[in-house]
Amino acid sequence: MLYVYIALAVVIVGLAIFFLIKELKSPKKQVTEGDVVVESKRRIEKAVSNLDSMIELVQNNDKLKTKLSSLREIIRFLNPVKSEKVKVVDEKILSRLDDLKIEISKDENAETIWRMIEEVEGYIAQRTKEV
């Protein structure tokens, strides 16, 4: 019985050494341009998804619903790019949309919502200049 335990320990240690050497020899995965563009596309999709949920939240305010729908269409057709400046602007857009969603869930008739929408539109304009 002792021989079985020793054999099992040798196999486990052997596998551990094999995977350790394999990990040390293989090069680390580097981020490619395609990965950056995919990440940009995911940020755009997340923004569209946020706007979809906000449109569902707003049922009584047709003016706000129309504005959010037009903003959704603008963001939906943004081009994913690899620029670091655009990434920063995209993060600002996502952050402001998250804040906007919170405000809409509190009170869909608040004036701060319209200011937040204007900020998002400003970020979109800034993004199109950076491209």
**pLDDT tens string for the chain (131 positions)?**
888 888 888 889 888 888 888 877 776 655 566 678 889 999 999 999 999 999 999 988 899 999 999 999 999 999 998 889 999 999 999 999 999 999 999 988 888 999 999 999 999 999 999 87
Helices 62-76 and 33-57, packing angle to 10 deg: 170
pTM of full prediction above 0.75:
no
| pLDDT at position 44 | 95
